[in-house]
Structures are given as C-alpha cells and as structure tokens.
Structure 1
Amino acid sequence: MNDQQLLRYSRHILLDEIDIAGQEKLLAGHALIIGAGGLGSPAALYLASAGIGTLTLVDDDTVDMTNLQRQIMHTTERVGRNKVDSGKQALAEINPTIEIVALKERVMGERLEELVARASVVLDCTDNFATRHAINRACVAQRVPLVSGAAIRFDGQVSVFDARRDAPCYACLFPEDQQFDEINCATMGVFAPIVGIVGSMQAAEALKIVAGIGQSLAGRLLLLDARTMEWTSIKVARNPTCDVCGKAH
C-alpha cells in the first residue's frame, strides 16, 4: 500500500484482526453485487469505502422517485438514470481509487456463472426467488461464497451460503420445488432503515470473508423484526439430498 492508502484505511489497519495484511486482501478482492437498490446501496457504499479492490454492480433498472425513500446510493437529480451508472457515480465520489464496473444487465445462465467465477464474494441484493436461486446455483457451481439479504415491511433477514465449506446453500433453506409467496416492497411497503441494516450486515459479512477474519453467518439465518428491534438466530443445516449443493459435496 502507498501512503495515501495507509492513511485512507488507517482505522481498519488499527484493528488487530485486519491490520495491513487484511486490508491488502480487501484491496485485492472482488465483490459482485447483484441488485443496486435498497440492499445493494448500503452494501456497495460500505464495500467501496472499506477499500474492496474491484466492485462489480449489476442491475437492469433505472432510478425511480419511489426508490429514494430507501435506496441511499441514488439522488433526486439522478431519477431516470440507470441504477448502475448512478451507483458508480456515488461510489467513485466516495472512493475513486477502486475499480467500479457497472453492468446494466439482467444476468442469468452462463453470463451469471462467468461473473460469479471472477468474484471473491457475491452479494445477492435482489428481490425475487428466481434470481436468488439462479445466483445460488452459480455460486455453488463456482464455489464462491454468497451473502444473501432480504427485507420487506419491517422484517429483514441475512445469511451466508459458502460452498467451500460443509454448509447449507440457499436451496437447502428455500428449496426450488417449494412454492413461496412472491412479495415485494412495491405492493407491501418497506421500512426505510431495514434495508440499510440488512445491506450493511451484508457488507460486513463480505468484508470478513474477503479479509479472512471472524466467523461468518454460514449455517445461521438472522431474522430481524424492526417493530420490536429483536433479532432471532436460526441454525440451518445442509440438506444432503439438496438438488443444488447435495451433488457438490
């Protein structure tokens, strides 16, 4: 690291668990964030400020006025712009020293696996089961850790699915062949800070994974009820017959 980097990241370097070696791992790391909305905004902002070396932001949507109540990466003047371009501008203003790749795409199939394979960690900041399952499959296939978050109304959840370990994948928790109600904030509403809390936790888990510190949420699901501000931690076991990860172990 040069003198400017030592100064910029000095508060990380002061932490014994991170130090210079951990910060150098972050600078060499590559985070893939899929979804540049409520969850992706705080996650991307913290990863950029913390010095993740490369940040790839994927989203095919544009900034809408209704997004601004919670999607803190975007501004009123950027309504109508592509979310990834708006996000890239915000991230570059915070940290112009990292590489920011903005992809206006809805990634699936081989393209998704290609992007996942390049990453050190993947953050699922999307809002539908089909995309979440596709991301999970790609992460299991490429053995890249996945940090998953979700938020609706006053409820949030976050977990880590790490195919490098004997840990469950997303499909162990939410099997693809089971029917779950698709609900989103456009119809159900969402308490603005809940996406900030969950997205920030996703950033924290991603940074821990890349820096190789602490213990991740792999094998645990955290649930938050913001009405009472109570957390619930649930242990999640790997399903040995899981259609996605069962064959991978």
Structure 2
Amino acid sequence: MSTHILTDEERERFGWQIMMTGFGEDSQVKLKQSSALVSRVGGLGSPVALYLAMAGIGKLVIAHGGVPEMGHMNRWIMSPYEGVGKVSPVDSVIDHIRKLNPTIELVGVKESVTEENVQELVSQADIIMDCPPYFEERHLLNREAIRQQKPMVEAAVCGAEGYVTVIVPGETPCMSCLGFHSKDWELPFPVIGAVPGVIGSMAAMEAVKMLTGYGEPLKNRLVMYNGETASYQTIKLKRRANCPVCDQALVFQ
C-alpha cells in the first residue's frame, strides 16, 4: 500500500480530523508516512500508542519487558485482567490496536530499554515517546535521541499530577537539562489511573503535531497538570550551556 496517498477508506476513517483547519489531507499523509517508538505501554504508554494508532500513524515500535501485575490494573487500559502475570503487554497492545487500525505496521519488542538495545530501538522511529517509570530508561532514551537527532515527547505522571514537553535536539532543553532524576525513586508510586490517560493523550497530540507540522508543539514549554484541582500550568524553558548531555540546561523565564 502506498504511503504517498490516502485510500478512500482512510479518507473516510480520518475524515473528521482531515477537516480540521490547518491539518488536511497533507498532514494525514505525513502521519501515514511516520513512525514512533513507544517505550513502555503501561498506564502512560497505552493511551499514547492507542491515540497515535487511531490518528493514523504508519508504524509503531512498542518496547516493554515483563508482564502486568495486579497493581497495574487501575491504569493499564489495554492489558486484560486474565493476562495478569502471564501475557506480555506488547502482545496485548498489538492485539488491541490491530482491531482498531488493521493497516498500521506494528513492531513488538518484549524488552524494556537498555544500553544494549537503545540505539536499535531509536533508529527505527521518527519520534520517541518517553513513557517508562524508571529514570534510568528515560535518560538512556534522551541521550540516544540527542545522538541520533530525533525528537522526543517527554511525559510523566505521579499521584494526580503529570507533565508533558517536547525535546528537540539543538532547539530545546533535553531530559538531562530538566533535572528530573532521583536515586531515591522506586516502585510502587501513587497514581490515579485517569491521570496517565490525560497525560498520554496530551503526549500523543504533541507527537501528531511534531510529525505533521500542525499547530504549536510544546517546544521550550512544559505543561503541568494537576488532577486534584483540575488545573494546568505552562512553564517556559530556555536552553543554557552547561548540560552534560546536550550542553543545555533549564532556566525559568
């Protein structure tokens, strides 16, 4: 199937977003030609993968090791109850997405991001969706995205709060600049299941914007969401020259 044009079925399926002012068929074709790596498809990565697939992205690379635990079931929206302790979330997500968008190319990797596989994983995608719960994985993805000059949507949740920003090598602060790392971080951590849904949907929207040129991506801006108060805060970010990864760092304006 050609990626340079839309089929009649695709025009009908994605018609409601094609009619968006500033989006149109050209943006839909760009999505069809694009690919994303979703690192982990738990509470946060599941809605990211779901909405990218529903939007019509051409290829998803899904990387996640292990199997779901009972404590994941308040937020892992595509892992069935009967699969707890048994079924890889990669298999569950791929099975679910194929029923929603049978034309998408799906690459499943039943491993989480490591030093050994990060280069290959990042090389397969146009954009990186950073969704793991561990800072070590996030910083591995950040360093490799900078090295390969790939944009990355950085999103995270904890409790009733979450944030989203877009990292573009050479244009924005990187993950290391933001200073989001902690040797004391460990699982489990508190989280209300709907919060990853909110943040995951926002992250997917940022990827759509980055891949198509639609709208204004969250470059040099970070949006904080507080589910307890139903409030948002936008923080402006600025590069500076002392980051050990990209020679940038964060200052508040």
Q: Is the 8 A contact 1:161 1:218 kept in 2?
A: yes
| Residues 1:32 and 2:33 aligned together | no
CA–CA distance in structure 2, aligned partners of residues 93 and 175 of structure 1: 36
- Any unmatched runs of 5+ in structure 2? 1-5, 249-253
Of 112, 136, 148, the residue aligned with 2:154 is 148
2:63 to 48, 53, 58: 58
Indicate which of 14, 18, 32 corresponds to 1:13. Answer: 18
Check the 8 A contact 2:222/2:237 in 1, yes or no: yes
Deviations 1:72-128 (A, max 9, x none): 111223322011011111111111110111100123235212221221111001011
Q: Which residue of 2 aligns with 1:182?
A: 185
User: Which position in structure 1 is the counterpart of 2:238?
Assistant: 237
Identity of aligned residues (%): 36
Aligned with residue 115 of structure 1, among 121, 129, 137:
121
* Partner-residue secondary structure (3-state), 1:105: coil
Q: Write the mapping of 1:44-193 to structure 2, written as runs, cut at 5 A.
A: 44-79=49-84, 80-109=86-115, 111-163=117-169, 165-174=170-179, 179=182, 181-184=184-187, 186=188, 188-193=189-194
Structure-2 change in CA distance of 1:27 and 1:16 (3 Å)? same
CA RMSD of aligned residues (A): 1.6
Could you tell me which amino acid in structure 2 is paired with residue 222 of structure 1? Answer: V
For 2:148 and 2:155, the matched residues in 1 are separated by: 20
In the other structure, the counterpart of 2:3 is none
Distance 1:150 1:175 in 2: 10
Aligned position for 2:201: 200
Q: Partner of 2:224: helix, strand, or coil?
A: strand
Distance 2:67 2:162 in 1: 24
8 A contact 1:74–1:90 mirrored in 2: no
Q: Per the alignment, in what secondary structure is the counterpart of residue 109 of structure 1?
A: coil
Q: Is the 8 A contact 1:156 1:224 kept in 2?
A: yes
Inter-partner Cα distance in structure 2 for 1:160 and 1:61: 28
Structure ranking higher in helix proportion: 1
The separation in 2 between residues aligned to 1:183 and 1:110, in whole angstroms, is 23
Deviation at 1:240, TM superposition (A): 1.2
Offset at residue 180 of structure 1 (A): 5.3
- CA gap of 1:180–1:195, structure 2 versus 1, over 3 A, is same
Distance 1:237 1:127 in 2: 25
TM value normalised by structure 2: 0.91
Aligned mates of 1:175, 1:195 — CA distance in 2:
18
Cα distance in 2 between the residues matched to 1:239 and 1:183: 30
Distance 1:175 1:227, change over 3 A: closer
Please give the alpha-carbon distance, in whole angstroms, between the structure 2 residues aligned to 1:145 and 1:213.
15
Q: Residue 28 of structure 2 contacts residue 212 of structure 2 at CA under 8 Å; is this kept in 1?
A: yes
List gaps (5 residues or longer) in structure 1: none
Q: Shift in Å at residue 18 of structure 1? A: 1.5
Letter in 1 for 2:185: E
Deviation of the 1:157 alpha carbon:
1.1
Q: Is the 8 A contact 1:221 1:233 kept in 2?
A: yes
Map Cα deviations across residues 139-163 of structure 1 (whole Å, 9 max, x no partner).
1001111001111111111111111
